[in-house]
Amino acid sequence: MHTRVVIADDHLPVLASVGAAVAATGAAVVARARSPDELFAALHELPCDLLVCDYAMPVDAQVDGIEMVHRIRSRWPELPVIMLTTMSNGVILRALLESGVRGLIDKAAPSLELHAAIRAVEQGDTVVSPSFTEAMAGDAAHLDEPVLRREIARMFERGRSNDEIAAMLRVPVSCVERHVLAPTPEGDEDTSKAEPQRAPREPHR
């Protein structure tokens, strides 16, 4: 039986590229979503063995980023998730892994990297792009990156308390308090095209 995969991204070219990578593994794409709302609807309605999902999909969304991930993990805790992103914030990347995400893959990487990640996650492995591994190893140095400020600001605007934000991001409350009122500068996020590395195998959560 083919692995049934739901893919989600708010950009059509990325959806097409991800769909091609999934098909190349022999798996079957059973649904495509362009927002968290569409994604949740698909997961409710269709049997699914694997989710390949963009980290943040702001199109008509009431939730995105880390909150979207926590909602996925709380409703479908056994579903393997591969998260696609361009961020390099070690704090958030580590929080995603600790929430149960099974793959963290750079969106800018070649499609072969995603292909390899799908194969590895199907076998029960956890896969992280090397650039993300480096970011997590030095996550203390990434506390002031713009992506962390933006994530805190989004969660605060949606009514999350400082304590809730700190718990979800695995950062001190003082860090959240410092960023809540801080301006969010515009900036490009780091990208990398390195090959993925397998992390030690862990049981499904």
Output Rg (C-alpha) for the chain, integer angstroms.
Answer: 16
Whether 194 has a pLDDT exceeding 70, the answer reads: no
Angle between helices 90-99 and 162-169 (to 10 degrees): 80
Residue 45 to residue 133: CA distance in whole angstroms: 35
CB distance 78 to 157 below 8 Å: no
Q: Residue 203: which pLDDT band, with cuts at 50, 70 and 90?
A: very low
Q: Is 106 helix (H, G, I), strand (E, B) or coil?
A: strand
Lowest pLDDT segment from 19-23, 52-56, 62-66: 62-66
Lowest pLDDT segment from 43-52, 98-107, 147-156: 147-156
The per-residue pLDDT for range 152-182, each reduced to its tens digit, is 887 787 778 888 887 777 777 877 887 776 5
Task: Name the CATH topology of 4-138.
Answer: Rossmann fold (3.40.50)
Q: Stretch 40-54: mean pLDDT, rounded?
A: 95
Q: Stretch 98-114: mean pLDDT, rounded?
A: 87
The per-residue pLDDT for range 18-38, each reduced to its tens digit, is 999 999 999 999 999 999 889
Domain ranges of the chain: 4-138, 143-180
Backbone angles phi and psi of 69, in degrees to 5: -65, -45
The per-residue pLDDT for range 66-92, each reduced to its tens digit, is 888 888 989 999 999 999 998 877 888
Identify the pLDDT of residue 183. Answer: 54
Whether 97 has a pLDDT exceeding 90, the answer reads: no
